[in-house]
Every structure is written in C-alpha cells, then in structure tokens.
Amino acid sequence: MGNLNKEIRDGDHPDITEERLKSTFDTHKMAAQIYNSQRAADRRNEITSAVLKIPELQDIKPLPFLSREEKVEEAARKIGILSEHLYDLVNVNDGAELYHLNNVVIGGEGNPLALHGVMFIPVLQAQATDEQKKKWLYRAMKREIIGTYAQTEMGHGSNLRKLETTATYDKATEEFVLNSPTTTSMKWWPGNLGKSTNYAVVVATLIINEKDYGPHSFMVQLRDENTHKPLPNIEVGDIGPKMAYNATDNGFLKLNHLRIPRTNMLMKHVKVEKDGTYIKPPHAKMSYSAMVHVRAHMNNTMAYFLASSLTIAVRYSSIRRQGHINPKEPEVKVLEYQTQQHRLFPHIARAYAFSFAGAETVRLYEKVKKDMESGETELMADLHALTSGLKSVVTYLTMQGIEQARQSCGGHGYSMASYISEIYGIAIGGCTYEGENMVMLLQLARYLMKAAKAVKEGKKVEGLVGYLSAPDNRHSLIDRTPEKSYDTYLKTFEHIARQQIFRAFDKLEKMLTSGLPHSEAWNKCSVELTRASRLHTRLFIAQAFARRVHDVVDFHIKEALDDLLHLHLNYELLDVASYALEDGHLCGEQMNFIRSELYRSLGKIRPNAVSYVDAWELSDMELRSVLGRRDGHVYENLYKWAQNSSLNRTDVLPVFEKYLKPLMMSARKNSKL
Ligand SMILES: CC/C=C\C/C=C\C/C=C\C/C=C\C/C=C\C/C=C\CCCCC(=O)SCCNC(=O)CCNC(=O)[C@H](O)C(C)(C)COP(=O)(O)OP(=O)(O)OC[C@H]1O[C@@H](n2cnc3c(N)ncnc32)[C@H](O)[C@@H]1OP(=O)(O)O
Ligand SMILES: Cc1cc2nc3c(=O)[nH]c(=O)nc-3n(C[C@H](O)[C@H](O)[C@H](O)COP(=O)(O)OP(=O)(O)OC[C@H]3O[C@@H](n4cnc5c(N)ncnc54)[C@H](O)[C@@H]3O)c2cc1C
C-alpha cells in the first residue's frame, strides 16, 4: 500500500512530510467526498496536469505584481488560449470542470467571460423561448457573443421593485423603449459590463399603458459585434478599482431611449403580446432564476475559498517553527499551539460542512430548475428560503475563517505572497452580491414566520422546518450522548433555532396586535428575525454534515469525517450556546462538557490537519501562494518572490534624488548650524 496522503514527494520539506506520513486516511478518497464522486476528483487532477503541460497557460508572473490593466489583459490572454484547448481539457457541459479549469488557469480575480458563464447563459437557458435560444443562447455558448447580467443600479440593488430603468412598450412599433432617466438609474456593478461584453440581459421595470409590471428581463445588444464600439443611445464603461476582483471590468450602463424589438423580452414564462396584453408567469418570481442559480452554487465556491486559505495556513503552520512548549526541546511547529489549532481547525470543519450542505442545495436547485421548465413551481419558495439563508451565513462565516487563516500566518500572512488577502477580498464580495446578507436573512425570516404561524395554529409543518412541529425536550441530553451519535447535539441545535424563531414570532405578533403596521413591526423585530434565520441555517448545515457522515461507507474516511463533525458540533454549539443557557436547556456543567469535547477534538484532528487540507487537492498553480506551497519550501521562495517587485529593478530609486536626498541634505545642513 502506498502513502495515504497523496501529496508526499521526495525533496519536500521534512516537517511537512512528517505531517503527511501521519495521515489515517487516503486523501484522494477524501477528495471524492468533497467533490461528490471519485470521478469528479480524478477529473480535477487530470485537468490540472493537462494545464501544467501548456506553457502559455501559466501565469506570466505572480498576479499581485500586475497592474489592473495587466490583470485584465492577462485574464483575456488566457481566455484566448483556453478556447483553443477547451474541448481537449474539459467536458464543456460540466459546470464543476469549467469552474476548476477557471480556478487553475485564471484564478478568482475574474476574466472577461465570468458573468457570461455564471449568469448570462443560465438566464437565457431558464427564461428564453426556443426561438430566443436559437437566436442568442447557442451563439453565446459558442462564444460568438459575450454577455452579462445587468440588474443593479447606482441607486438600487436590494429593492428590485424600485429599479428606475424602464422598458416602456410602444404598441405602434412593437418595441420596448429602454431608458435610464436619472444618474441613479444607471446600471452599476454588473461584472464584465464595462469593457468585455457586447450583449447584456438588462433587468428593467416593465411599463405597459402606464402600468408598472415590475422587473423583467430584456436582451440588449450593447456593442457592435465587429468593432466593439458602443451602439447609439448606449453609454457604457468601467466603474473603477475595487477591493478585489480587479481583473473584472464591473461596469456602468446608461440607456438613452434605446428601442429594442418586442421579441427581445425574455418570454419563456411571461409574455407581452403585440397588442400590449400582459400574460403573467406561473410564479411571480420566476424571472429571479439567475440569482437563485448563483446563490445555490455559492456554498461550494465559498467552501473552496475557505479551504484555499486554510490549506495555505495549515501547511505554513507545519513548517513555521517559533517558540517552545518544552524549553528543553527545539522550537515547535506553530501548529502545535492549541490556540493555533483552535484558530484553524473549526474552519476546516466548516469548509467541509459548506461543501456537503452545498451538494444538497445544488441537488434541490437542479430539481426546481427541471420543475420550472414544465411550469411546476411548488418548491421555489423552499429553495429561495434555503439559498437566502445559506448564502448569508456561509459567506459571513467564510469571511471569518479566511481572516483567521491570514492572522494565523503572522507577518507573512499580511504579505500578498500568502495570497490570503486576495482570497479574502474575492470571497467577501459574496456577502454583498446576489443579495446583501441582511436582506437575504430577512427573506428567509418571512418563510420561517409563516411556518411558525402554521404551528401556532395547530398545523403540522414539514420539510426544512419540520422540526418546528416535532417534540422537544425541556433539557438537553447532550452529555449523555453515546460516542458517534449526534442526535442529541442536533436536537439541541433544533431547540435553539425553534426557541429563537418563536421568540421573533411572538415579538412580531405582539407588535401587530398592538396596532403597529406590519412593515414597522417587521423592522422593529428585524434583528431578532435575522438571528432566527441564522440559527435555522446553522442547524441545516450541521444536519447536512451529519447526513453525509452517516452515508459514508469507507471506514477510515468515515472515522476522519466523524472527528471533524464532532469538532464542528461542539464548536458551533459553543458559539450559539447563550440561546440555550437563557431558558435552561443547557446548564453550566454541560457547557464544560462541550468545551472539553472541543479541546479533545482539537487533539484528535491535529495529526491529520495537513491531510484534511491536502484532501482538497488544490495545486500550487491554483493556490498562487508562497506560504501554501505543497512542498513546504517557503523561505527561499519568499525571497525569490520578492525579486519580482518592480522597486527592486534598480538599487536607487528616482525618488531618492527627487525627495529623500534633499530632505536628508537639508536636515544635515540644519543640524550643522
Ligand atoms: C463548485 C462549483 C461548481 C460548479 C460551479 C458551476 C457554476 C457556477 C455557478 C455559480 C457561481 C457561483 C459563484 C460565483 C462566483 C463568482 C461570482 C462572480 C460574480 C458575482 C455575480 C453577482 C451578480 C449579482 O449580484 S446580480 C444582482 C443580485 N441582486 C440581488 O440579489 C437583489 C436582491 N433582491 C432580491 O432578490 C429581491 O429584491 C428580494 C427577494 C429581496 C425581494 O423581491 P421583491 O421585491 O420582488 O419581493 P416581494 O414582492 O416583496 O415578494 C417577496 C416574496 O417573493 C418571494 N421570493 C422572492 N424571491 C424569490 C425567488 N427567487 N423564488 C421564490 N420566491 C421568491 C419571497 O419569498 C416572498 O414570498 P412571501 O410568500 O411573500 O413571503
Ligand atoms: C463584487 C460584486 C459583483 C457584482 N456583480 C453584479 C452583477 O454582475 N450584476 C448586477 O446586477 N449586480 C452586481 N452586483 C451588485 C450587487 O448585487 C448589489 O450591490 C447587492 O445586491 C446589494 O445591493 P445594494 O448595493 O443596493 O445594497 P444596499 O441595499 O444599498 O445595502 C446597504 C445597506 O442597507 C441595508 N438594507 C437594504 N435594504 C434593506 C432592507 N429591506 N432591510 C434591511 N436592511 C436593508 C443592507 O443590509 C446594507 O446594510 C455586484 C456587487 C459586487 C460587490
């Protein structure tokens, strides 16, 4: 039998090899859990190996040394080369393969086709008629045209019903007139809108006979297909540098009474007839499908960002030696410190948890997508509630985890050589895009309040909120849990979520009964409501993790995942325990039990720490991190990396002659006086 950890190679740093030799599980088999099948895990590695053989696809230099213009150009250059090799490298119908190829070759900072694949094609697939698909979708798939999804405006992103861009139907010419009447009505933010795309699905408020029908989707050609010049009545450009994503040209768009044919409205589910008759869709929110698509996939992309930063931090922590635990022994790896373990290991568990919750979400999303094709919309509300909560909780916890990973690398974590700050910048965009987190938590809260009302009225609720009708114990039995049975833990999470959901519900009801209008009462309860949404979502994540561990067959993988789950449940419970202490569901003694289980878990995870992150099988090319190098040879490569700095091109910079020398000369002269 070979090594269980598949990353071991001759010549690696002995400290990291020592870690890998301790692995109790096969890291490639674990990758099959993370990526949902052995085949998917194999394909990732095959794609990486194939990419490594194509010299033109390698980074010209480390990305942090590129200017914004160079980043945009470099991403576009690679997209060009990739298109020559695409069909040899991946199955183009497999989103996960495409996503992986993008991460390896280009990375997370963006590329000219990012929104084309993530939103433009999905919105056409879901909302275009067959005729419209023939006209645009197939051309888009062949990349004859490049598009984006232009919804957010300078003045409105969250509140779609107040979008100011109008699409007014002109019956006489059978056209829509698209107009941005104010500065705040300009589209502002859409990815790749600024410079790369020549088409966009524009979301605008539909007006027929002066009646407002709310947001609808329209296909708009922005630029000439040959010259790429903006078409008449269109102003378009880049919105400038951002915290991260700077290889992406997020853009603005002003439409000046632009006329488009009636048939450019996406009409699979909703229609405007020639005479202006409006035929409503089977479900009012069907046109929100592109957002739900991204939200459903965000658990996995966030898990990936979190796992990337943890891979960097854990590998580095295994070669970084500083300080002593036993003064008679050599300096220890910083990974030996309990504080370092507590800082990193719970986030490793979260990355796994998000990936497992993500797999369940994508399954539900695929089902709802299929249902919608035949006009069936029953599960749309469930999916919207689930993805709204997960999107918010997962992005927020990912942000926390990445920042802990950065800090755990000390000073070198702050250098772009770690690349963690870039990953952080990219990931935290997710707290905002696809629905600002608070706004989305409040969407889930609407669903939870409906369920709570039903339960109060004596009705039985099922599915994701089924636990609200289930029997509850007055006191948690957590310290009477047999090993490897997590039922009592999950019951405690259920109790906490249930209590908070009913607390918010009762508060809201009381205000409504006192005569407060619903929207005001809602606002006054909104902090409690968002807490309810978070706790419900964290319960779902814990349940999804437990369901996955339950289903695993391989003994060693199951055991390793079980250790992570144990850590996860204890850590997360401590984080939310105040809710259960308030009503005596948990007592002080049980808190001590949870804490001691948590510390025991850290020790259990420690020998496998490097293997848990190695199992994500993130290559050096995609990590783009000196600290996270697979071989552990960090220090000599940090020095090499710094040589890329343009400041090192000459020994003396012109600023010396210009500013520093006069400053010092004058100081010296003055001190002689
Ligand atoms: C590992 C990965 C493998 C493969 C990857 C494969 C593919 C990759 C796919 C995705 C990639 C993932 C990540 C991306 C990576 C990089 C990201 C790059 C770019 C980022 C792109 C970002 C793009 C954007 O940001 S687009 C703009 C997004 N904007 C928003 O989200 C706006 C938020 N606001 C809203 O959504 C709405 O305004 C609202 C929902 C808040 C309110 O809507 P509305 O005003 O219409 O509400 P009401 O009329 O009051 O109605 C409320 C009722 O409607 C129900 N509702 C709302 N929405 C839905 C829905 N979608 N479905 C069902 N029901 C819905 C709601 O529940 C209310 O119902 P109730 O009964 O009345 O309570
Ligand atoms: C990296 C990035 C990429 C993006 N890409 C795209 C894209 O491709 N296409 C596109 O169309 N858009 C895109 N966007 C825009 C993005 O979708 C919006 O910025 C996002 O939906 C938030 O809306 P907003 O900016 O209006 O926030 P605001 O709503 O102005 O948020 C400001 C504050 O107000 C609060 N708030 C607002 N409404 C409520 C409420 N009802 N209740 C309680 N609190 C509230 C929020 O919680 C927040 O704290 C992108 C944004 C980013 C950062």
* Residue 148 DSSP SS3: strand
Rounded to a whole number of angstroms, the CA Rg of the chain reads 27
Which residues' Cβ are closer than 6 Å to ligand 1? 95-96, 99, 114, 118, 149, 151-152, 157-161, 191, 285, 288, 291-292, 294, 297-298, 300-301, 380-381, 384, 433-435, 439, 443, 446
Relative to beta strand 199-208, strand 166-170 is parallel
pLDDT digits (tens, 9 = 90+) for 528-558: 999 999 999 999 999 999 999 999 999 999 9
Average pLDDT for 44-64 = 97
Whose Cα sits closest to atom 28 in ligand 2? 158
Exposure on the CB side of residue 208, measured as CA atoms within 13 A:
17
Q: Is 311 annotated as belonging to a binding site?
A: no
> How far lies 514's CA from each of 425, 451, 455, 505, 518, in Å?
45, 22, 22, 14, 11
Of the candidates 133, 32, 33, the one whose C-alpha atom is nearest the C-alpha of residue 545 is 33
> What is the band of 647 on the pLDDT scale with cuts at 50, 70, 90?
very high
* Ligand 1 centroid to residue 447 C-alpha, Å: 15
Q: What is the mean pLDDT of residues 354-383?
A: 96
Cβ partners under 8 Å of residue 427, min gap 6: 302, 305, 306, 395, 398, 399, 402
Cβ-contact 431, 338 below 8 angstroms: no
Give residue 505's identity as a one-letter amino acid code. F
* SS3 (DSSP) at 33: helix
Q: Give the model's pLDDT for residue 485.
A: 78
pLDDT for residue 481: 77
What pLDDT digit, counting tens, does each position of 287-329 carry?
Answer: 999 999 999 999 999 999 999 999 999 999 999 999 999 999 9
Residue 198's pLDDT band (cuts 50, 70, 90): very high
% of the chain at pLDDT higher than 90: 98
Give the number of the atom of ligand 2 that is nearest the alpha carbon of residue 191: 8
Distance 314 CA to ligand 2 centre (A): 33
The residues near 105 (Cβ < 8 Å, ≥ 6 apart) are 51, 57, 78, 82
d(CA 595, CA 478): 12
Nearest CA to ligand 1 atom 52: 443
Which CATH code of 3.40.30.10, 2.40.110.10, 1.10.1470.10, 2.60.40.3500 fits the domain covering 121-281? 2.40.110.10
Please say if the pLDDT value at position 484 is more than 90. Answer: no
Which is the closest atom of ligand 2 to the Cα of 438? 47
Give the per-residue pLDDT at 1: 63
* Lookup: tokens for 305: 């960002």
Query: Is residue 287 within 8 Å of residue 281, measured between CB atoms?
Result: yes
* Residues counted in the chain: 673
Q: Does the pLDDT value for residue 338 go beyond 70?
A: yes
Cα 295 to averaged position of ligand 2 atoms, centre (Å): 14
What pLDDT shows up at residue 569? Answer: 98
| Residue with CA closest to ligand 2 atom 32 | 436
Q: What pTM value is reported for the model?
A: 0.97
DSSP per-residue letters across 241-286: --SS-TTS--EEEEE-SEEEEGGGB--SS-EE-TT--EE--SSTTG
Q: Considering every ligand atom, which ligand is closest to the CA of 215?
A: 1
Q: Ligand 2: which of 436, 437, 522 to mutate, judged by most atoms within 8 Å of the beta carbon? A: 436
The Cα 493–Cα 499 span in angstroms is 10
Residue 175, phi then psi, degrees to nearest 5: -130, 160
| The pair of three-digit structure tokens given for residue 656, joined into one six-digit string | 């010396």
Residues 190-205 have a mean pLDDT of: 98
Contact 222, 231 (CB under 8 A): yes
Q: Domain spanning 290-613 has what CATH number? A: 1.20.140.10
The contacts of residue 36 (CB under 8 Å, 6+ apart) are 359
CATH number of 35-112: 1.10.540.10
Select from 356, 300, 390, 291 the least CA-distant residue to 99: 300
Tell me the mean pLDDT in the region 486-514. 97
Residues recognised as catalytic: 434
CA neighbor of 44 nearest in space, from 618, 628, 643, 648: 618
The rounded distance, in Å, linking the Cα atoms of 130 and 121 is 14
How many angstroms from the chain centroid is the CA of residue 428?
8
Q: What's the gap in Å between 155 CA and the centre of ligand 1? A: 18
As a whole number, mean pLDDT of residues 59-70 equals 96
Half-sphere exposure at residue 127, Cβ-oriented, CA atoms within 13 angstroms: 32
Instruction: Find where tokens 């009474």 sit.
Output: 257
Residue with tokens 């490298």: 89
Q: Which two tokens stand for residue 33?
A: 């859990």
Q: Residue of the nearest CA to atom 72 in ligand 1?
A: 446
* Closest protein CA for atom 48 of ligand 2: 436
Pocket test for ligand 1, best of 443, 519, 622 (most atoms within 8 A of CB): 443
- In terms of Cα–Cα distance, which of 384, 159, 375 is closest to 281? 375
Mean pLDDT, residues 592-602: 97
- Alpha carbon of 451 to ligand 2 centroid (Å): 27
483 has pLDDT over 80: no
Kindly report the protein residue whose alpha carbon is nearest to atom 1 of ligand 2: 429
pLDDT in tens, 214-242: 999 999 999 999 999 999 999 999 999 99
Asked if 335 and 318 touch (Cβ cutoff 8 Å), the reply is: yes
d(CA 611, CA 563): 13
Is the pLDDT reported for residue 370 higher than 80?
yes
Name the percent of the chain in helix, strand, coil, to the closest 5: 60, 10, 30
Whole-number Å distance between alpha carbons of 661 and 658? 7
CA of 371 to the centre of ligand 1 (A): 18
Q: Which ligand is nearest to the CA of 525?
A: 2
Chain-wide mean pLDDT for the chain? 97
pLDDT reported for residue 423: 98
CA angle 629, 78, 81 (to 5 degrees): 120
Give the Å distances, CA to CA, from 138 to 97, 130, 275: 20, 11, 29
Report whether residue 436 contacts ligand 2, using a CB cutoff of 6 Å: yes
* Overall average pLDDT of the 177-189 stretch: 98
Torsion, CA 497, CA 501, CA 506, CA 509, rounded to 10: 180
Q: What percent of the chain has pLDDT over 70?
A: 100
182 labelled as ligand-binding?
no
Q: Taking residues 362-388, what's their average pLDDT?
A: 96
Cβ 252 under 6 angstroms from ligand 2 = no
Q: Enumerate the domain spans of the chain.
A: 35-112, 121-281, 290-613
Ligand nearest to the CA of 297: 1
At 95-115, the pLDDT tens digits run 999 999 999 999 999 999 999
Nearest to 45 by CA among 12, 82, 11, 90: 90
